[in-house]
Structure 1
């Protein structure tokens, strides 16, 4: 199968290089769709069809949770304030540079160095403030983790539980990097996820208990099957040894 895929991709490369002039991004986009199609095509050919596939629109689910909207609004408000503060600082920096350029011909060498140092120091201060607000572990990161992430985790956990309960093989996120050119709404489980989130704690605990019982049942059946196979192997081995002795 790898050889077949390799030949097809090579053929695709040659066709585009010889017959079309396209941007690298468009080419990668087409190649992604092509590989995605090959994946499902070869799986179908090998009779490895997925039993259950679904997709969920996480943004839609989150938008239906009132408390999430409040959390997102608070996050947006804080972000706007921080951006305004930075805009003000950048404007002041721009004014400093403009004034310096206008006055530079009239300044002594010492004053020029002093003003340049002043501008550089303020640039460093802006960078520090920007990192404080929007750095990898800045205020935005911490506030998002505090206000928004718990709701996102709630949705992801609900999807995981539904997948286990209803035996889904794959569940895609509608706004993810996977290109979904067409979706059949029969496979949309967004409303199902929303209903699950809105259930009571008791209902959720009951469903999770059902999952644990199902996992335990499958493990028990697997052990029984392994024991049966072991007994059968032992029986065949004894029969073979008995035949050897008789011969």
Structure 2
């Protein structure tokens, strides 16, 4: 699949993969800063997200294959790979399946373990929005607030609303397929081949996505890895503590 992307800067290629319900723009601020340090940063919209094509196939294998296709098409020589949440899982899948195609990897606030489905209210809320009836984003926000009380989360989710040709609204994400296959997003890393390359795991101190107990599995699969904790940050560590995240990234990639 040919993914939509944005490219910023010049230098060593660095590919960034966003999380579920996200898009390339989620990391744009950090990408601009990294580009100042001699990286060419590629921000990808993963399949069924952003402006990339929709598909009934939605799995980490498919996302890993998309990344492989992107690297081949753009003739990138062993890029650095960074993935947040779902993007981190896709990066880990890619790292095993295409172990010769990358140099270093950064995984942000996700572990290679399986996670139970925990996006039920978000999906129910998104599906409850009557796209034919709403006249503004405010209308959509009001409907979504019945299921998602946090304003910041709603603002993030509603970035997926776009105007259609008739002047109404449509979803940029493939909401039906994401809803149908959300269990696949929680799947653990089934591949048990140890990867010896350098990998950095960044976790938020207030996030429960990467527990101390998960470090055993991380080091089994990625023996040459380290886990760094950014205190005071939750799952959206890159949005909450961007300067600290940038410093960790630069220190690791240099």
TM-score by length of 1: 0.21
Q: Which fold has the larger relative contact order, with Cα–Cα distance below 8 Å and residues 6 or more apart in sequence?
A: 1
Question: Which is helix-richer, 1 or 2?
Answer: 1
Greater CA radius of gyration, 1 or 2?
1
- Provide TM-score, normalisation by structure 2: 0.20
